[in-house]
Amino acid sequence: MLEITPTHYLVLSAGLFMIGVIGVMVRRNIIIIFMSIELMLNAVNVNLAAFSQQWQHVTGQVFAVFVIAVAAAEAAVGLGIILAFYRNKETVNIDEMNVMRW
């Protein structure tokens, strides 16, 4: 039987994190980019939970709960901002953000 070690969790979270980073880089839809960022934050949570298990204390899990709470607050504000942008522009494509030079 294969034992699940912290290394396995690290590989999982590194994979999730990379998917998130690549998503931010290549996708053009603001909502999808935002979802990719959430994926990065969830990679952080996997890390924290795994390390918490490894050290046999709850600090990491408390940290993860804070990350989840902050991600939720950020999502609320972020979606509001994206909505305000959509109302003026009728699009959520990041290439259409061209009022100012990038």
Binding residue (CB under 8 A) for other proteins from 4, 5, 6, 28: 6
At residue 56, the 3 state secondary structure works out as: coil
Distance CA 50, CA 33 (A): 26
**Burial of 19: CB neighbours in 10 Å, binned 0-12, 13-18, 19+:** middle
CB of 76 to other proteins, least distance (A): 9
Q: How far is CA 14 from CA 2, 21, 23, 33, 64, in A?
A: 20, 10, 14, 18, 16
Nearer to other proteins, 1 or 55 (CB): 55
Q: Does 62 bind other proteins (CB under 8 A)?
A: yes
Size of the site for other proteins (CB under 8 A): 44
Q: Does 102 bind other proteins (CB under 8 A)?
A: yes
Angle between the N-to-C axes of helices 6-26 and 30-55, in degrees from 0 to 180, rounded to the nearest 10? 170
Residues engaged in binding other proteins (CB under 8 A): 6, 10, 17, 20, 24, 30, 33-34, 37, 40-41, 43-44, 47-48, 50-51, 54-55, 57, 59-60, 62-63, 66-67, 70, 73-74, 77-78, 80-82, 84-85, 88-89, 94, 97, 99-102
